[in-house]
């Protein structure tokens, strides 16, 4: 059911006999996969990743439960769901259904379940870094000043020790810096350093440094022309939601800045799946949300499609939701008045189908079934359809640890990012500057001590000379009234009397 121009999603309409497809030329018009837990979102993401890869489109996705690692292995006839998968394929007319594996590259910010992935502090930038650290407006201003000083003085900010060094420099010279760059307080610097310590304790230190990720290593094809599927191991990363969301936003921003304009390509250059998308917007400052809106609006001209995966469409800001042309909506539950309101709002974003009530269908669809709407040949959203999602060709569920290691060892990225580099940067430059200042101070102190010692010796010498002269005069005076003089006086008197 896969042709050169589209990806087969599943069967819709009466008896699920009408093919539902995503046109590749509109794959960069972004998309949405939504639904409550356990309704089939992961499988929908899996079959889309398979479809794009088979069409020669590289994919990036985050695997928050390790389930998507199964893309690296072929499904098997021995799987407990084999008969059901085959029956579903027959129901929807998926005649060429078969099992296959796909070219997967595993990545991991912690370097444990995938190849290490890093960026530099400079590439992250002050806005995203402030979001990552949870800084207020004043503290964000200090971060901007630190970046500016590093740039003015030619100091690279590569890793967190560089950032810590430049912040310490700003704090120690707050008075002088305030007159040139703006008001800085030591308390603000101290607050940022405390946040930095928390990030380091969460494992964020390993994310910053070199060698930094080259986007060309992700946007790659196999020799057979298949798009590589880049899977970010996010199970541990999800324990630090801000680091997870900030990393994915940074990656989107890098794609936007580095990729050239391609207009309207026949198929995307890369498709990016943003799982647990609500984490990006929860508590995010307006400036950050506006940045996401800008990237989502403009990045499609770079040939990049962004697909948000979340439980409820209400998790996505309206300005972004309105840009998502390809939609797979799994079941939503309506237990409260708020749930019913959000369900109604979700239904209203689709083009009505006279055959059924959309809001009712969203509540009724079962696991592996969804209401879908894709862009047609004219770029217009199709009428919503109740669709039975096609079965995946790759393995349902995670692969074993040994299988993952084997995939990593055979990967074209094996060994490329394993060893960290530590070039001369802000930390080394400021340390050298401090060492030189300390040495100069030590030499000045030693010179001052030597001068003081010289003066002390001279003073002692002058005191010694003065005391010697005084004692000599005293003895001279005392010698005029000595015992010999007294005898001589008596003898003279006696002679005079005779």
Summarised one tens digit per residue, pLDDT across range 218-257 is 999 999 999 999 999 999 998 888 899 889 989 999 999 9
Give the model's pLDDT for residue 242: 86
Beta bridge partners of 32: 308, 327
Give the model's pLDDT for residue 469: 47
Give the model's pLDDT for residue 4: 80
Q: CA-based Rg of the chain, rounded to a whole angstrom?
A: 38
Angle between helices 241-258 and 121-133 (to 10 degrees): 140
3-class secondary structure, 175: helix
Q: Is residue 418 within 8 Å of residue 112, measured between CB atoms?
A: no
Q: Is residue 298 within 8 Å of residue 272, measured between CB atoms?
A: no
pTM score, whole prediction: 0.85
Residue 111 to residue 107: CA distance in whole angstroms: 7
| 69-105 residue pLDDT tens | 999 999 999 999 999 999 999 999 999 999 999 999 9
Residue 59 to residue 49: CA distance in whole angstroms: 7
Give the model's pLDDT for residue 1: 53
What are the residue ranges of helices labelled H in 373-425? 401-409
Q: Which of 238, 273, 240, 270 lies closest to 255 in space, CA to CA? A: 270
| 270-285 residue pLDDT tens | 999 999 888 888 877 7
Residue 408 to residue 82: CA distance in whole angstroms: 28
Q: Is residue 20 within 8 Å of residue 326, measured between CB atoms?
A: no
Q: Which of 32, 14, 18 lies closest to 318 in space, CA to CA? A: 32
Q: Which H, E and C letters describe 197-209, residue by residue?
A: HHHHHCCHHHHEC
């Amino acid at each position: 059911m896969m042709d050169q121009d589209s990806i087969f999603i599943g069967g819709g309409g009466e008896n699920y006999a009408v093919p539902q497809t995503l046109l590749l030329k509109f794959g960069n018009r972004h998309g949405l996969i939504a639904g409550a837990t356990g309704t089939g979102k992961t499988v929908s993401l899996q079959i889309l990743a398979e479809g794009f890869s088979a069409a020669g489109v590289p994919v990036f996705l985050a695997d928050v439960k390790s389930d998507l690692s199964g893309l690296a292995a072929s499904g098997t006839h021995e799987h407990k769901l084999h008969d059901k998968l085959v029956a579903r394929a027959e129901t929807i007319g998926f005649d060429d259904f078969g099992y296959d594996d796909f070219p997967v590259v595993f990545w991991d910010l912690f370097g444990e379940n995938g190849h290490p992935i890093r960026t530099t502090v400079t590439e992250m930038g002050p806005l995203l870094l402030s979001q990552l650290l949870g800084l207020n407006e004043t503290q964000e201003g200090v971060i901007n000043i630190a970046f500016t000083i590093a740039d003015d003085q030619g100091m690279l900010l590569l890793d967190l020790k560089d950032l810590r060094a430049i912040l310490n420099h700003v704090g120690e010279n707050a008075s002088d810096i305030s007159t040139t760059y703006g008001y800085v307080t030591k308390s603000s610097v101290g607050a940022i350093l405390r946040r930095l310590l928390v990030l380091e304790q969460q494992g964020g230190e390993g994310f910053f440094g070199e060698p930094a990720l080259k986007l060309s290593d992700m946007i790659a094809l196999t020799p057979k022309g298949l798009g590589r599927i880049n899977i970010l191991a996010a199970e541990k990363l999800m324990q630090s939601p801000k680091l997870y969301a900030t990393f994915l936003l940074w990656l989107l921003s890098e794609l936007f800045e580095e990729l050239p304009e391609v207009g309207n390509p026949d198929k995307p250059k890369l498709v990016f799946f943003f799982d647990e998308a609500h984490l990006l917007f929860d508590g995010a400052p307006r400036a950050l949300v506006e940045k996401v809106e800008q990237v989502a609006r403009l990045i499609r001209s770079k040939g990049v499609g962004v697909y948000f995966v979340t439980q409820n469409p209400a998790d996505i800001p309206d300005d972004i939701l309105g840009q998502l042309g390809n939609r797979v909506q799994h079941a939503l539950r309506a237990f409260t008045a708020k749930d019913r309101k959000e369900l109604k709002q979700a239904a209203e974003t689709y083009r009505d189908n006279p055959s059924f009530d959309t809001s009712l269908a969203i509540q009724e669809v079962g696991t592996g079934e969804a209401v879908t709407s894709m862009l047609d040949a004219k770029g217009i959203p199709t009428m919503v359809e109740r669709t039975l999602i096609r079965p995946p060709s790759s393995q349902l569920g995670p692969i074993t640890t040994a299988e993952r290691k084997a995939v990593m060892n055979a990967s074209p990225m094996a060994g490329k990012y394993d060893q960290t580099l530590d070039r001369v940067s802000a930390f080394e430059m400021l340390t050298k500057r401090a060492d030189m200042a300390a040495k100069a101070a030590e030499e000045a102190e030693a010179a001052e001590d030597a001068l003081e010692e010289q003066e002390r010796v001279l003073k002692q010498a002058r005191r010694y000379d003065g005391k010697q002269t005084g004692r000599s005069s005293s003895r001279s005076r005392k010698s005029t009234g000595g015992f010999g003089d007294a005898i001589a006086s008596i003898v003279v008197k006696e002679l005079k009397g005779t």
